[in-house]
Amino acid sequence: MKYLAFATVFMTAAGASPGHAGSVAISSSYSSTAPKACRMIGKPSEEDGSTTRVCPGKSGLVVLINEGDLREVVSVGRNREAAAREPAARAWFGPFSSTGDRVEWRAAGGKPFAIIQRWQIADNSEQDKRGGPVSRAMLAVTRLPPGDVCHVAYVDVAANPNANELARQAADDFARDFKCGTDTVKTIGQSGRTTSLMRR
């Protein structure tokens, strides 16, 4: 995902959902989930090569990334244990999948309420030059505490030239009021091959 290099982007809450009207500014900031920026938990499993890492986030939150069988899940919490209990910690996709090394944090008045991440979803219907499945890009919006942590919206990057803007708007409009386990995760913008692949 091409972000403005660690820039802070502001919007007025007039662009947010009606339940969050007011003069509080909405901003973006970024953190890294690259292995060198995170703490690895234990050693990789010999059975499936699974790994767990905990990465520093914003406002005292951490990002938990579990990888096994070439699929990742990502969650957020005050600590590793809290993040592991969230619905997002079980939000895996059927195809092989992985995330990028940068997390965008959407915050209102300095308090994060959502993250946006770029995912790569394997498409077994087409092979790359090395003979493996082609990777297709998707943005996932995840709501943050207070309340449960879960996916809110998906944006197909190839189908939407303005994917970053769509993901930010989805975070601002839906994340804070989204009810995990009750509300349906939204596909934002134009649907494409990627958003059809990742349906579990």
Instruction: List the pLDDT tens digit at each of the 200 positions of the chain.
Output: 333 333 333 333 444 444 564 568 999 999 999 999 999 987 766 566 689 999 999 999 999 999 988 899 999 999 999 999 999 999 988 889 999 999 999 999 999 999 999 999 998 777 777 877 888 999 999 999 999 999 999 999 999 999 999 999 999 999 999 999 999 999 999 998 887 776 54
pTM of structure: 0.84
CB burial of residue 105 (10 Å; 0-12, 13-18, 19+): buried
Of 162, 173, 179, nearest to 26 (Cα)? Answer: 173
Task: Please tell me the predicted confidence (pLDDT) of residue 14.
Answer: 41
CA separation for the pair 75, 77 (Å, rounded):
7
Q: What are phi and psi of 135, to 5 degrees?
A: -95, 135
CB burial of residue 57 (10 Å; 0-12, 13-18, 19+): buried
CA separation for the pair 115, 167 (Å, rounded):
10
Give pLDDT tens digits for 32-62: 999 999 999 877 665 666 899 999 999 999 9
Q: What are phi and psi of 76, to 5 degrees?
A: -135, 145
Length, in residues, of the chain: 200
CA separation for the pair 47, 27 (Å, rounded):
42
